[in-house]
């Protein structure tokens, strides 16, 4: 039987733009977590803070009548939908937020490139219309979109629901001043942390190595800053040694939030620039065509 007999048809095509080809990579990354039931569950758990906020919002607006009154909720910034803390703290503020970020970046961003290296998929990309830099960017973009849907879009939707459920436009008037900057801050925070994780992934040899080291980087530096806080009681600049704390300080600065333990955000920016620079250089070196397929 000839190839025609087997249904083969000659095909001609006009190549799509480089952007479309990179989107194919980003889209793949964006869908990573939704391929398995376990991944979907992990994602839903990561939506926990926003779901909790939605519950508070329902109580606050009187839709859901349980013990707490709107006045009581308003008395604490963390439960007041008209305060900046309500949107910012569940994502970057507390230990639960840290754990959620750690889990999601460990499952997605910091495995993004390492798992492709492990399965020799880099050869698939390099021998088609995608180069190392574009690939790295697309992986980061997919990762940002996935993380952003939990850490930026979910708070934005919560705020919108709060505005729509309120009896008047008072909530909108009282929150419109800070919500856009909070969303910008959360976007920058998500982008920085996922960039570091994806760069880490490009450097590591295997996905599991990347996950373990990423886990230790975030946890280890966070623990180190806690220890240093016992030494430098009145100084807080050393918190910038932790990428998590540095990104958090930058996010707080963007939305004008003053933390309890304040320090110059320039130190945080400098710290992130150094880490991003070093990781980018290492990642691009590891992604060179010859090294990736060698």
Per CB under 8 A, residues contacting another protein are 2-4, 6-16, 20-21, 24-25, 28, 32, 35-36, 115-116, 118-121, 123-130, 289-290, 293-294
Closer CB to another protein, 126 or 244, in the complex = 126
- CB nearer to another protein: give 33 or 196: 33
Tokens representing 37 are 């039931």
Task: Tell me how crowded residue 187 is: count the other CB atoms within 10 A of its CB.
Answer: 18
User: In the complex, what is the shortest distance from the CB of residue 129 to another protein, in angstroms, rounded to a whole number?
Assistant: 5
Asked if residue 81 lies in contact with residue 189, where contact means CB atoms within 8 angstroms, the answer is: no
User: Closer to another protein at the Cβ: 158 or 211?
Assistant: 211
Q: How far is the CB of 204 from another protein (least distance, A)?
A: 15
Q: How far is the CB of 150 from another protein (least distance, A)?
A: 20
What the block records as the tokens of 221 is: 């530096």
Cβ 151 to another protein shortest distance, Å: 23
CB 210 within 8 A of CB 204: yes
**Of 109 and 171, which CB lies nearer to another protein in the complex structure?**
109
The answer to whether 133 touches 284, Cβ cutoff 8 Å, is yes
> How far, in Å, are 134, 199, 241, 272 from residue 267 at the CA level?
30, 22, 9, 9
Minimum distance of another protein from residue 242's CB (angstroms): 31
């Amino acid at each position: 039987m000839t190839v025609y007999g087997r249904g083969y048809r000659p095909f001609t095509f006009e190549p799509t733009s480089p952007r479309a080809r990179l989107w194919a990579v980003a889209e793949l990354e964006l869908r990573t977590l939704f391929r398995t039931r376990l991944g979907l569950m992990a994602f839903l758990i990561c939506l926990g803070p926003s779901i909790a906020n939605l519950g508070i919002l329902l109580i606050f607006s009187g839709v859901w009548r349980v013990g707490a009154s709107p006045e009581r909720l308003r008395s604490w910034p963390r439960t007041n939908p008209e305060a900046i803390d309500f949107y910012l703290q569940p994502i970057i503020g507390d230990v639960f937020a840290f754990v959620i970020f750690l889990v999601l970046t460990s499952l997605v961003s910091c495995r993004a490139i390492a798992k492709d290296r492990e399965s020799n998929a880099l050869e698939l990309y390099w021998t088609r219309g995608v180069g190392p830099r574009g690939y790295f960017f697309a992986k980061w973009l997919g990762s940002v979109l996935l993380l952003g849907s939990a850490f930026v879009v979910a708070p934005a939707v919560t705020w919108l629901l709060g505005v729509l459920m309120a009896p008047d436009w008072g909530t909108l008037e009282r929150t419109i001043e800070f919500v856009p900057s909070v969303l910008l801050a959360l976007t920058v925070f998500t982008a920085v942390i996922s960039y570091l994780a994806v760069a880490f992934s490009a450097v590591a040899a295997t996905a599991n190595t990347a996950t373990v080291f990423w886990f230790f980087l975030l946890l280890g530096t966070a623990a180190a800053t806690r220890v240093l806080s016992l030494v430098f009681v009145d100084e807080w600049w050393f918190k910038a040694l932790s990428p998590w704390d540095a990104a958090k300080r930058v996010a707080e600065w963007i939305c004008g939030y003053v933390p309890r333990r304040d320090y110059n955000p320039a130190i945080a920016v400098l710290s992130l620039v150094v880490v991003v620079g070093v990781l980018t250089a290492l990642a691009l070196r590891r992604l060179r065509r010859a090294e990736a397929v060698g």
